[in-house]
Amino acid sequence: MTKRVRPKKFLGQHFLKDLSVAQRIADSLSLDGYSRVLEVGPGMGVLTKYLLERPLDLTVIELDRESVPYLRNHFPQLEENIIEGDFLRFPVDQVFKEQFALIGNYPYNISSQILFKALEHRDLIVEIGGMFQREVAQRVASKPGSKVYGVISVLIQAYYDVEYLFTVDEGAFNPPPKVKSGVILLRRKENQNLGCDEKLFKRIVKMAFNQRRKTIRNSLKALTGKEFENEFLKQRPEQLSVDDFVKLTREIEKLQL
């Protein structure tokens, strides 16, 4: 029998030990219109166990070389579906040709990067579920006007509906992290067309929040290169909804023609 896996600080590992939390995360996936699921960083398979009880086609990707043989030993039914590697370098569209969901107890140190990578493959990833550092989960789910509303809030919510499901205390993990965790579920919106130049949209959002204490007019001066009037220019970025940023992008597109 393979020995237990040691949590590694350099990988940001905090193994979930509360089985009721694992069950709730596994049950959060809707499986609506898809059956394939990719779990990121399964570790010793606490979440994997409950995912395998659901009617889905599971693949797992794990970077930790100590975890891979443990998973092979304890979950022989996954033998052909265990990928040893880094999700951030994983060629998603070469392996997955159909719609799938992403799930995991994500390493805190790369969780935002995981979300941004998933966003790049939103044509394939219909749902994203799992556990993040609570601060990140709150940021992703926050609405305009919130102090934590920012770049990741706008860019994710442009393409996904976000639901904050529940908070998890430090004691649910081994070793316990220094912060609480939050479980969220992202469901891809049916309409993926923003109706504006999406590269410009992303650039505007990032520029605006890079100077979040300034008004939109001052943040975007370098981009527009000319004066123009718009209802949002006197506001700060955290006051603008996704739709507001889309409208602003359309106005700036006209200036650049």
Task: Let me know: does 134 contact 177? Beta carbons within 8 Å.
Answer: no
What CA–CA distance (Å, rounded) separates 37 from 54?
11
The pLDDT value given to residue 64 = 87
**The pLDDT value given to residue 167:** 98
pLDDT at 102: 98
CB 224 within 8 A of CB 173: no
The answer to whether 26 touches 46, Cβ cutoff 8 Å, is no
pLDDT at 257: 63
pLDDT of amino acid 115:
97
Specify the pLDDT at position 1: 41
User: pLDDT under 50 in the chain at which residues?
Assistant: 1
Q: List pLDDT tens digits, range 56-87.
A: 999 999 998 888 999 999 999 998 999 999 99
Instruction: Compute the distance between CA of residue 158 and CA of residue 188 in angstroms, rounded to an integer.
Output: 9
